[in-house]
Amino acid sequence: MMTRFLLTIIFLLLAIPSAQAQTLLNGATASSFSIPPGWKLVTAQGFEGSLAPFSNVGSGNTMATTNPHSGAKSLQGTISFDSASVRLTLDEGRWGIGREVYLSFWDFMDANARFNDEMFIADFKKINPTGQNGPRPINVNFQENTVDFFNEGGSFPFDLDNGQNGTTNYNTLKPQHVFAIQGGWAGNAKFGPQYVFPVGQWQQWQIYYKANTPGVADGILRLSRNGIEMQNLTNLDTNGTLDMVGMRVQAGGTYTRHVWRKLNATLTPADDECSAYISQGYAYNINDPATGKTFGTDYFRCTDFNNCSCPPNTPIFKRYIDDVIVMVPVDSGDLTPPGPPANFRVQ
C-alpha cells in the first residue's frame, strides 16, 4: 500500500509542468523523442520537407542539406547584415498555445560567428491592440519577451571608448545570457552567465516559459544549453496586465550589431568615435549618462557591417537550426486560440 501511495505521489509530481526540471527533452530530435507526462506535442519540425501550416522562417532562410543535425536537412541562413534572422516562428493565435510552453531545438553557428549587440535564442510575442501596457513613456502595441545573448550586457557603460581601455565588445566570443522583457511592458532585463560560446558545434537549447497571469508576478523562465542550466527565473512580471494566451513562439531569431557613430566630427575625445552599444535605455532616455551626449544630435545608428568607419568589420557567418519541438501542458484550460493544424508534425 505504501509503495503504491509513493508511486502515485511521484506520478502526480511528474505531471506538473511547472515543477519539472528544465531538461525534459535531452538529446531529442524531431523524429526521436518521448513526450513527458503532463505535456502534449504542439509541433516537431525537422525541415525534411515543407513547413507546417502557420509557420514561417526568416528572410532568405532555406531548408538545405549543407549541415543537418539529424536527418538530411536543417534550416539555415546567412548573417550578413544588421537584424539578419535565422528562425522558425509559430504564428500567433494559431497553435493552441496558452501561457505556458516548452521549446527545444538544436542551434549551430559556424566558426566565423561573433557576438555584438544581440543574438536571439528564442522569442515569445503577443500583439496588444490596446497599446500601452505599463509605465513606459511610449505606446507600443506588442509585448515581446526574448531569450537572448547580449554583448557584455552587465558591464555598463558598454565600451563607450571603442576599446581604448582594453575592454572592447566588438566581435566577441564571450556574450552574456539575458532574458529581455520588452514592448508595452518593459520589465528589468534579467542577466545570466557570461562565457566563451562554442561556435562551430551543435547546441541544444531547452526553454520553459510561463507568462505571468495578468497583473500577478508569477512568470517563469528556465533555460538550459546541452542539459546544463543557464537561467532559472521565477516570480517574474513579463507581460503586465496583457494576457499572453495565443502568443507567437520562435526558435532562433535576430542578430544585431548596432554600431553607433558620431554625427559631428569635431566632438571629442577622438576615441569616443564608435561604440558597439551605448545603453539599453538610450533610445528611450535619448541621453548617454556616461558622456552626456544625445542620440540623434551627437550619435547615429550605423547598420552597414562594412561601412561604418568603426573597425573591425563584422564577419559574415552561417547559422543553422534543426529539430524544433514545442510542447504545452496537457491541462491548458486557458487555451482560447484554435488548436494545431492537422499536419502539425513535420519530420
Q: How large is the average pLDDT for residues 1-28?
A: 53
Q: Is the peptide bond before 312 cis (omega within 30 degrees of 0)?
A: yes
Whole-number Cα distances in Å, 278 to 114, 127, 152, 169: 19, 28, 12, 11
CB of 129 closer than 8 Å to CB of 141: yes
Percent helix, strand, coil in the chain, to 5, is 5, 40, 55
Burial class (CB in 10 A: 0-12, 13-18, 19+), 341: middle
Quick: pLDDT tens for 31-86: 999 999 999 999 999 999 989 889 999 999 999 999 999 999 999 999 988 789 99
Q: Is residue 289's pLDDT more than 50?
A: no
For the residues 231-243, what does the mean pLDDT come to?
92
pLDDT score at 310:
57
Q: What's the pLDDT score for residue 298?
A: 56
pLDDT, average across residues 5-25: 48
Beta-strand pair 219-225/228-236? antiparallel
> Would you give the DSSP letter of residue 102?
E
Start-to-end CA distance of the chain, whole Å, equals: 44
In this predicted structure, the answer to whether residue 301 has a pLDDT above a threshold of 90 is no
Nearest to 317 by CA among 275, 255, 260, 258: 255
Question: Best-predicted range by mean pLDDT among 19-23, 35-39, 263-267?
Answer: 35-39
According to DSSP, the β-strands at 85-90 and 248-256 are antiparallel
Look up residue 270 and give its DSSP letter.
Answer: G
Position 315 confidence tier, pLDDT thresholds 50, 70, 90: confident
To which residue does cell 520588452 refer?
Answer: 182
pLDDT value, residue 134: 53
Residue 263 to residue 261: CA distance in whole angstroms: 6
pLDDT score, position 278:
42
What grid cell was written down for 2?
A: 505504501
CATH of span 2-346: 2.60.120.200
pLDDT per position as a tens digit, 191-226: 899 899 999 999 999 999 999 999 999 999 999 999
Share of the chain above pLDDT 70, in %: 64
Residue whose C-alpha cell is 519540425: 45
pLDDT tens column, 320-333? 999 999 999 987 64
Amino acid of residue 147: V
Categorize the per-residue pLDDT at 241 as very low, low, confident or very high, splitting at 50, 70 and 90. Answer: confident
The kind and range of the H/E element at 203 are strand 202-210
Chain mean pLDDT for the chain: 76
The answer to whether 269 and 292 have CB atoms below 8 angstroms apart is no
pLDDT at 84: 92
Confidence of residue 11 (pLDDT cuts 50, 70, 90): very low
DSSP-assigned states of every residue in 17-85: GGGS-S-SSTT-BTTB--PPTTEEEEEEE-SSSPPPTTEEE-TT-EEESSS-SSSS-EEEEEE-STT-E
